[in-house]
A and B are shown apart, each in its own frame.
Chain A
Amino acid sequence: MTPRVLPAGDHAALVEVDDNAAAVRLARALRTRGGFVDVVPGHRTVLVTWEGERPALALDPGDDETVFPGRLVEVPVVYDGADLEEVATLTRLDVADVVAAHTAREYTVGFVGFSPGFAYLLGGDDRLRVPRLDTPRERVPAGSVALAGPYSAVYPQESPGGWRLVGRTDLVLFDAARRRPALLEPGDRVRFTAR
C-alpha cells in the first residue's frame, strides 16, 4: 500500500502507512529531514504539523537502515503485579509461563502517548494479549509494567490507568531535567528481564 495522506487541520496532515515499522521509519526520516514542528508516529500513522507554509512531505522513508533499529534498553522487572494471577488465568498459562513469555521477546517502541514518556511497546507474545480492565484504576503507581491488547508499557508517572499490571521497575521512564527526558523513544528496542 502506498502511504495515504489524510487531512488533519490547516497546519497538519496524517499519513497512513502499512504497519508500525513503516510509521516509525517514516517518522524518523521526516524528523531527520526537518521542517516540521512535530512528527508523531502512531500505531500505523505519522502526524506532521507545521507553521506557515507546509514543508515538502516526502513519503519515501529512504534507506536509513544504518540508524535503524534504535537503541536497546533493558528494563529489569519485579513480576509481582496486582493483575499477574488474573493475566495467567485469562491466558491459560501459569504465572511462571507469563513471566517467561514476557521476558522472551524483544519489543519495539511503536509510539509514545497517553502521558509523557508512555511508550507503547509492540512485538510481544500473542498469547499475552489481554483486554483492558472494565473499570480503570484511579491510581497506577509509576514504574508499573502493564499489558493491554497487543501492547506492553511501563507507566512513567502515577496516573489513572486501565491496563493489567504484571510487575514494576525502578527505572525512571521520564524526567524533564534529563538531556533525553524520555527513556524510550519511538523506534527504541526493549527487553524485560525478571529480577
Chain B
Amino acid sequence: MSSVKATEFHFPLDLGAPDGSLEARAPPVDNGLDVPDPSRYYSPEFMQREWARLWPHVWLLAGVASDLPESGDFTLFEHGHEEILLVRQLNDAIKAFFNACPHRGNRVCQVDRGSTSSFTCAFHSWEFGCDGKLKKIVDEETFNPRLIAHRPGLTEIRCEVLAGVIFVNMDGLAPPLKEWLGLPDGYFESYELDKMSVVRHTRSEWQSNWKTGVDTFYESYHLPHIHPQTQGSIEEFSQVDLYKNGFSRMIMWFGIKSHRHIVENERDLDIGVKIMLKDAGVDVDAYQGTIADTRNDIQKAKRERANRLGLTHYEKLTDGQLSDGWITGLFPNVQIGMHAEGVFIMRFVPHATDPNRFYYDNMLLYRHVEDPNYSVPAWMAMPEGVDTTGQTRPPIERWDAGVEPGIGPVLLQDFELVPNVQRGLKSRGFKGPLWSEQEARLRHFHREVDRYISGEK
C-alpha cells in the first residue's frame, strides 16, 4: 500500500526540518488582509513611483561573476531604460557604471558582453578605461577647458558580489548587500552558484506588468490548473517561507505526484517522474518502486552518484535539496529556482515605458560534471547539442514581441496566461487580489513594495 495518502498532506506544508536548518519553516509573518488597489499593476503613475522610489533604492541582480572570468571582461545589464556596464578590473574586483557617455549621453557599450582594454563611444570616439576614467577626448582643444576640467568619466554605481552573483544599487544608499539580503545565513552560498556557468540565457517580452509576472511565479497554487501535465510529478502544496526585507522561498516537492492527483495503480509512474528518475541515473525499466517511493529514490540515487563521482559539493545539500526545487524570491524582481545540478535565475525586468509589458529574463546556470551519466536534467528543457561545459558563454536568445518564445511548454503556459490576467486586472469589476495562504509570498512581496512606494524605506 502506498505510504503517500492524500490525508497526509495538508496546508501549510511543513517539512519538519530543525530550526536553524536552511530547510526549516520560517516563522509566520502577519502581513494583514488589506487588498491592494489593482492600479499598481497598470497605472503609469505607479510605474513612475517605482522608478523614483523603488528601483534606485534596492539591490538589483545585475549578472553573474562567471560571465566575467578575466580582467577587461564586461557585460551589460539592462533594467527598464537604465543600462549598467559591469567590468572586471585588473585587481579582479567588478565595477559598475551607467552606460551613458558623459559627453552627449550615447550608450558607450552597445553589445551584451565582451572583453576590452577600453571603451570608445561610437558617437565622437571619447574613450574610457575599464575603470570608467576618461582616457581621451577627441579634439579636446575645441572644448572650453572649464567645461571638462572635471575629466568626465563614466558614472560609477555601487556594486557588490555575493556567492558569484553581482548586484548593483543605483542611488548608493542601500544597506550593505549582506544586510539587505533577507535570506538566512549561508542559504545563498549553499548552492555554490560561483561554481556554475550560464549555459542558456533567454529574454522574452511578456504582455503584463512585471509584478503580474512575479505573482505568477511566486505561488504553486496554479500548477494543477495552468500546468496540469505536472500533476504526476510535482506536489503543488509547497512549504512557504517568508523572510525579512520581502524575501521568501517555497519548497516544491519534485519527483512525486500531487496529493490531489489520482492514480489507480501505484506502479503506474508518470512520464515526468520517469524523466526525473532517469536524470538521477536510475534504470527506469528495471525500477521496482511505487508512486510513493519515487522522490526518496531520486534522492538516494543522486546521493549515491555524488559519492561515486566524489562530488563534494553535494555534502552541503540536504536530501530534500537533491529532489526538490527551492524556489527563492529575491526582492524585488528575482526568483531563483534552486536545484542541486543547477539553478534558474529569473528576472522580471520592467519595461522602459509601458507598465503593461516586462521582459522575462531566464539564465540557466549549470555546474559541469565530467561524467557520461551526469548531465543537465532533461526537465530543465535544455536544447540538444548545446555546450554545457561552461566553456562557451551562449548569447542571449531574444524573440520579437508577439513571437512565441522557445522557452519550453511549461513556461509557455505562463507566457500565454499573463496577458489575460493583465487585462482582467484593469476591469471595473475587479477589486484587487484576494490572496490565499498558498499565495502568502505575494502579499509579503507587495507589502514590501508598498514600504518603498510610501517612502517608509
Task: Please indicate whether A and B come from the same complex rather than being unrelated chains.
Answer: no
